[in-house]
Amino acid sequence: MGTDAGEDAGRWEQTSGEPGPSPTPREGSRLAVGVVSAGRVGAVLGAALAQAGHQVVAASAVSRASRARAEELLPGAAILPPDEVVRRADLALLAVPDDVLPGLVRGLAASDCLRPGQIVVHTCGAAGVGVLAPAAEHDVLPIALHPAMTITGRREDVARLTGACVGVTGPEPTTEDADAAWLVGEALVVEMGAEPVRVPEAVRPLYHAALAHGANHLVTLVREAADLLAGAGVEPAERVLAPLLSAALDNALRHGDRALTGPVVRGDAGTVAMHLRHLDDRAPAAAPLYRALARRTAERARDGGLVDPAAAADVVAALERHSP
């Protein structure tokens, strides 16, 4: 999420507001949605819910960027403090950074803005519904929804949600209310055009680590490769890399480790050693990442029967010999 979401939510912790009338869905829509806050994820999911027929009635937005985002993606939504946003909502969407969420939930629970039957959804990837426990004491329906997609906060992200997967977590399925939370979460995802995937509470951190490792570190890896090419005078680096990396990603998703190619899976320790000599000389900051990934590649290739164990050992030995 963008840092502006944290700025918006950071103003709201253990505060209170005067109770108001319970909101009702507006004519022509099924749920009145309140977005806390209009960061990248909140604005996009709010727009997706509006596109599905719900009405975004209010949003919190403090920074200039979040206000502009709300104006573009959530037109007609009143810009209000978080407690007032939630008070007006049938569905409260808490789209704030992970570290901000617990304090926000405690503050909302202390403010009399929650009511029985209200749907409270958060979008943090690493947390399940346990973090919503203070709100759940008010008999709300707690749900965690996390889109497995990079979201930049632009209008095109709403279309990108179509066909994407969204991790859904509800309470432990031991009661009728718990079952209802899972079903409502899945229904909301389907309405947004995405595919719901059930993620049990206990594995949310591992689920989120997998997504962050894949998406965020992929960007780092691609940019490192592009910088190495540019440093060698090979331009345009992105044009050189695009077909290769697109094919590698497609093959990896389709064929798993059998998509591995290159000197490591061939057991070509001499080439690996040559790479490291030049990286240490020309791009020392990139060399540790190459070493770490080459070692893990050798392990996966060996364990998958793609390279002879002796050849894999030669590659690892070359990595160790040329470690600074």
> Residue 196 belongs to what H/E stretch?
strand 195-198
| Token pair of 55 as six digits | 């009405």
Secondary structure letter of residue 38 according to DSSP:
-
| Token pair of 294 as six digits | 């080459």
Look at residue 321 in the predicted model and tell me its pLDDT: 87
CB 135 within 8 A of CB 176: no
The Cβ of residue 104 has, within 10 Å, a number of other Cβ atoms equal to 28
The CA-atom distances, in angstroms, between 52 and each of 29, 45, 87, 189, 271 are: 9, 10, 22, 10, 54
Which of these CATH numbers, 3.30.420.40, 2.40.30.30, 3.40.640.10, 3.40.50.720, describes 3-199? 3.40.50.720
Could you tell me which of 256, 212, 272, 222 has the C-alpha nearest to residue 242? 222
Look at residue 8 in the predicted model and tell me its pLDDT: 44
Could you tell me which of 171, 90, 180 has the C-alpha nearest to residue 132? 171
Cβ-based neighbours of 150, under 8 Å, separated by 6 or more: 215
Burial class (CB in 10 A: 0-12, 13-18, 19+), 293: middle
pLDDT tens for the chain, 324 residues long, are: 333 444 444 443 433 333 343 344 444 448 999 999 999 999 999 999 999 999 999 999 999 999 999 999 999 999 999 999 999 999 999 999 999 999 999 999 999 999 999 999 999 999 999 999 999 999 999 999 999 999 999 999 999 999 899 999 999 876 667 789 999 999 999 999 999 999 999 999 999 999 999 999 999 999 999 999 999 999 999 999 999 999 999 999 999 999 999 999 999 999 999 999 999 999 999 999 999 999 999 999 999 999 999 999 999 999 998 776
Write out the residue limits of the CATH 1.10.1040 domain(s) in the chain.
207-321
Look at residue 15 in the predicted model and tell me its pLDDT: 37
Tell me how far apart the alpha carbons of residues 244 and 265 are, in angstroms, rounded to a whole number. Answer: 17
The Cβ of residue 160 has, within 10 Å, a number of other Cβ atoms equal to 18
Look at residue 173 in the predicted model and tell me its pLDDT: 73
Write out the residue limits of the CATH 3.40.50.720 domain(s) in the chain.
3-199
Look at residue 78 in the predicted model and tell me its pLDDT: 98
Which of these CATH numbers, 3.30.300, 1.10.3470, 3.30.200, 1.10.1040, describes 207-321? 1.10.1040
